[in-house]
Amino acid sequence: MRIHFIAIGGSAMHNLAIALHKKGFVVSGSDDLIFEPSASRLSRYGILPKTMGWHEESITTDLDAVILGMHALIDNPELLRAQELGIKVYSYPEYIYEQTKDKLRVVIGGSHGKTTITSMILHVLNYYKKDFDYLVGAQLEGFDTMVKVTDSAPLIIIEGDEYLASPIDRRPKFHLYKANIAVISGVAWDHVNVFPTFENYLHQFELFIDTIEPGGKLFYCETDKELHTLVRNSRKQIVKTGYQIPAHHVNNGITYLLPENLPLKIFGDHNLMNLSAAKLVCQEIGISEIDFNQAITSFKGASKRLELLNAENNTNVYKDFAHSPSKLRATIEAVKSQFEERKLVACIELHTFSSLNKNFLLQYEDTMIRADNPIVYIDIKTFQQKKIKPFTEIDVQTAFNSDKLTFFDNASTLEQYLRELNFNQTNLLLMSSGNFGGIDLVKLARELNT
C-alpha cells in the first residue's frame, strides 16, 4: 500500500504515519511546518518530508490513498490534485476504521478523562502482554508510539475525540469508529468554535451512541446528570451500564482501593471514576476484576495528567493538562481532597479559542472556589494572535466569581509572583494545554520557597 499524508506533522497524523510504516506500507507526507517531537520521530523512521511545503507533484496515480489532516486547508494544492485524480481521500479516523473494521473496536468518548481511561486500559493490557492495537492522545510510558495498527491484533482501543475529522469531513472523529464497546466519561461543553451551543455539543454524543454497532455495549458515568438523561432517552438497542466512583479511602496522601486495600499511584474522584470505566472495559474483554486491580496499582497516570514535578518538605508541585471548566474544578478538588491539611495555589493558563470566548468564560464560575490562592494566566500575545480584545482582571474575577483571584498576562511577572510566595505546607497546581509562556516549570518547581 502507498499512502500519502497531507499535514503529516500533526500529533495523531505523524503517529499514524509511523504505525503504517511499521506495518510495511510505503508512506510519504507533506507539511508547511513540523515541530518537535514530530520532526525527530518522522526522521527516525525515514519519512520526514525532505522539504517543507505542499507539492502537488507528490500526488500520483500509484497512490492507494491520501490521509488528510485538520491542519490542511480545503484549497490545499495536494488535496485538489488528489480529488482531480480520483484518489480516495480519508480523514485519519476514517482510515483507522478502514484498517480495523474486522477487529473488536473499543472507543472511549467524553469531554474529559478520555486519555486517562484509554491509558489505564492500555496499561492493564500491556501488563498482561495481550495483543492489541490502539490510538491514544498522549505519549505513554512503555509505548513507543501513540498509534499502533497491525494485522494480527484482535482488538483496538481508541481514544474517541469529538472534534472534527478533517477540513472536508465535518463529522466528529468518534462518530467514524463504529464502536463495539463504548465509554462516555461525561459531557461538558467544549469546542465552541464548532459547537456554538451546549445543546448542539450534547447532540454529538447522542449521535455517537447511535453509531455503536448492533449488540454493542455502552459504559457511562451515571453521576453526570446530563449524560444520564441522554443515555436514558436513547432508543439505541444496546446494553447500557452506568458506573460510579469505586470504594476507597485516603490515608497520608495515598489513595487505597477497597476491599483489597491496594495502594494507588493516582488520586482524585475524577481519576477513580476513570478507573471504574477502565475496569468495566477490561472485564468485557476478558480481564477479571482481581487481575485488573492488581495491574492498575502500578499505573502512574497519563502523560501530563496530574504529573508530579517536585515533592519537597510539605510541598508538592503538579502539572496538569487542562483548560475546560469541568476539568479545572475536578483537578483542584482532587489535590485539595488528597492533601486536606495543605493550602493550594492553583494556576490555570487559558489559551484555547473556547476559553478566550467572553461568553464561554462565564462557564468558569466557581471552578476555583476550593483553591486558597487562585491564579489565572493568559499570555497577552494569545489575545493578539487570536485578534481578541484582552480581558481585564475584573473581567476574569467576575467570570470566575472570585475577588481573591489574581490575574496575569505576562509570564515573567507570574513566575516572579510564584517565587515570592511561601509554599510551606502548600501545594502548587499548574494547569494548561499550553506552555505558560515558556516558563521552565521543572526548574521553578525545584526552586520554590518551601
Neighbours of 145 (CB within 10 A): 20
Q: What is the pLDDT along the chain (450 residues), one digit of tens a residue?
A: 999 999 999 989 999 999 999 999 999 999 999 999 899 999 999 999 999 999 999 999 999 999 999 989 999 999 999 999 999 999 999 999 999 999 999 999 999 899 999 999 999 999 999 999 999 987 777 788 889 999 999 999 999 999 999 999 999 999 999 999 999 999 988 888 889 899 999 999 999 999 999 999 999 999 999 999 999 999 999 999 999 999 999 998 899 999 999 999 999 999 999 999 999 999 999 999 999 999 999 998 877 788 899 999 899 999 998 778 988 998 999 999 999 999 999 999 998 877 888 888 999 999 999 999 999 999 998 888 878 889 999 999 999 999 999 999 999 999 999 999 999 999 999 999 888 999 999 999 999 999
C-alpha 384, offset from chain centre: 26
Tell me if 11 sits within 8 A of 137, measured CB to CB: yes
Q: What is the DSSP string of 231-258?
A: HHH----SEEEEE-PPSEEEETTEEEET
Rounded distance between C-alpha atoms, residue 115 and residue 127, angstroms:
18
What are the tens digits of pLDDT across the range 180-228?
Answer: 999 999 998 888 888 989 999 999 999 999 999 999 999 999 999 999 9
CB neighbour list of residue 434: distance below 8 Å, 6 or more residues apart: 349, 351, 379, 382
**31-63 as b/e: b if 16+ CB within 10 A:** beebeeebbebbeeeebbbeeeebeeebbeeeb
The three-point CA angle 147-149-154 to 5° equals 125
The position carrying cell 500533526 is 10
In the chain, what are the domains?
2-87 (3.40.50.720), 95-297 (3.40.1190.10), 307-447 (3.90.190.20)
- Cα(2)–Cα(5) distance, rounded to whole angstroms? 10
Q: What is the pTM of this model?
A: 0.86
Residues 345-387 pLDDT 10s:
999 999 887 788 888 899 999 999 999 999 999 999 888 887 8
CA separation for the pair 295, 299 (Å, rounded):
7
Residues 6+ apart with CB under 8 A from 217: 180, 181, 182, 238, 239, 240, 241, 284
